[in-house]
Amino acid sequence: DWIMGDYIEEAVARIREQVGDEEVILGLSGGVDSSVAAALIHRAIGDQLTCVFVDHGLLRLNEGDMVMDMFEGKLHARVIRVDASEMFLGELAGVTDPEQKRKIIGRLFVDVFKAEAAKLKAGTGGHKGATFLAQGTIYPDVVESGGTKTKKATTIKSHHNVGGLPEQLGLKLLEPLRELFKDEVRALGVALGLPPEMVYRHPFPGPGLGVRILGEVKKQYADLLRRADAIFIDELRGWKDEATGKSWYDLTSQAFTVFLPVKSVGVMGDGRTYDYVVALRAVQTSDFMTADWAELPYGLLKKVSSRIINEVRGINRVTYDVSSKPPATIEWE
Ligand code: XMP
C-alpha cells in the first residue's frame, strides 16, 4: 500500500540529503507539475527554495494573483513574480503565424527565466546563490524522451519546453517527481495542502492565450478572451451532471475559449452591435492524441453564451466547436 504520509517523509528526506545547505531555483508556471514540485521542495527546504514565476501576460483571468496567493500567501514560499507582459506583447506585435508565435513566446520565456536565474545564482539579499535548478519532470516525460531530460515535443506543433536549461545555467538538476505518474503527482499535491481545484486543473499550454487568440495577439483581445473564458470555466464547474454527480469541468479533459478576430453584426436593446466572436471548445480524451468534442448540455451552452454576450462588452456572438481530433487539433493554433 502506498501511504502518502510516509512517501512525503521519504521524499523530503531525499531532497534534504541531495540539497544539503545549498539553494534551489524553480520555475513556477501555475501548472500541476511545477506547483507540486514547488510545494514538496518547499516542505523539505523552506527558504532555500526560490520560485520564479514569469507572467507573460497570456495567462487566464487572475491566474498570476492566484499563484502568488497560494505559494507566497498560504505556503509562505519565496516567490519572485516577473511581469514580462509588455515585453511579450511587444515582441508578438504584427506576428500572425502560430509556430512563429510559439517560438517567440518560448524564446522570451527562457530568456526572462535565465536572467532571473542568473541573478539568483549570483546571490542576493542574504542568499548565497543557487546551485540547483528544480523541474517538475514526471515519469511519463522521462519515458517519452527515451530517458533524457527533455519534455515531449510533437512535430505538428512545437511545444515549448526548457530542455537543456540546467546545463546552460551551470546548475545541478533536482527532479523530485521523476518517478511519479500524473495521478500520483495530483494525490501528492493534495496531501501537501494544494487545493484540489489547482491539482485537478485541465492542462494549459505553455504559450497560453497566445495560441488561443487566432492570428495577431493584442492586449485588448487577451482581456476580452480572459473574461469570456472565466465565465465558461465557472459554468462548467458549477453545472453538475445528474447521472454521475460530477461537474462538467470534471467530465471534460480540456475546455477553453478561443478568440476569433473577426466582427459580426448583432443587436442589443435598440442598437446594432458589430463585435468580436468567440468559440467554446470542450473535449474528452484519454491521451490528447485523439479527442472527441464534448456533448455539453444545451442548457449549459445557453447559459454560457448569454452570460458572455451580456457581461463581456465587445463580444456579441458565441459558437461551439464540434470538431474532433483528428482531423482538427484540440487547440485552434
Ligand atoms: P493539440 O492542439 O496539438 O493539443 O491537439 C494537444 C495537447 O497539447 C497542448 N498543447 C500545447 N502544450 N505548448 C504546450 O505546452 C504548446 O505549444 C501546445 N500546443 C498544444 C494542448 O493544450 C492539448 O492539451
pLDDT at 164: 80
Pocket test for ligand 1, best of 288, 289, 292, 323 (most atoms within 8 A of CB): 288
Which three cell numbers, joined as nine digits, stand for 232? 465558461
CA-nearest of 257, 263, 298 to 281 is 257
pLDDT at 150: 43
Residue 281 CA to ligand 1 centre (angstroms)? 13
pLDDT at 159: 53
Pairing of the two strands 132-134 and 49-55: unpaired
Cα 206 from Cα 15, distance rounded (Å): 27
For the CA of 254, the nearest atom of ligand 1: 24
Q: Is the pLDDT of residue 185 over 90?
A: yes
Q: Is the pLDDT of residue 53 over 80?
A: yes
Pocket test for ligand 1, best of 159, 254, 284 (most atoms within 8 A of CB): 159
CATH of domain 4-199: 3.40.50.620
Q: Please state, for a pLDDT cut of 70, what percent of the chain lies above it.
A: 94
Domain residue ranges in the chain: 4-199, 212-320
Omega of the bond prior to 327 within 30 degrees of 0, cis?
yes
CA distances from 97 to 61, 160, 206 (A): 25, 15, 17
CA-nearest of 105, 103, 113 to 134 is 113
DSSP type of residue 213: B
Which three cell numbers, joined as nine digits, stand for 322? 464540434
For the CA of 291, the nearest atom of ligand 1: 5
Give pTM, 2 decimals: 0.93
Tell me the pLDDT tens digit for each residue of 109-167.
999 999 999 999 998 777 889 999 999 999 988 887 665 444 444 446 665 455 688 88
How does 91-104 read in b/e, with b if 16+ C-beta sit within 10 Å? bbeebeebeebbeb
Specify the range with the lowest mean pLDDT, choosing from 143-152, 207-216, 244-253, 305-314.
Answer: 143-152
What average pLDDT does this structure show over 162-181? Answer: 89
Q: What number is the ipTM of this complex? A: 0.99
**Is 1.10.1040.10 the CATH classification of the domain at 212-320?**
no
Among protein residues, the one whose CA lies closest to atom 17 of ligand 1: 159
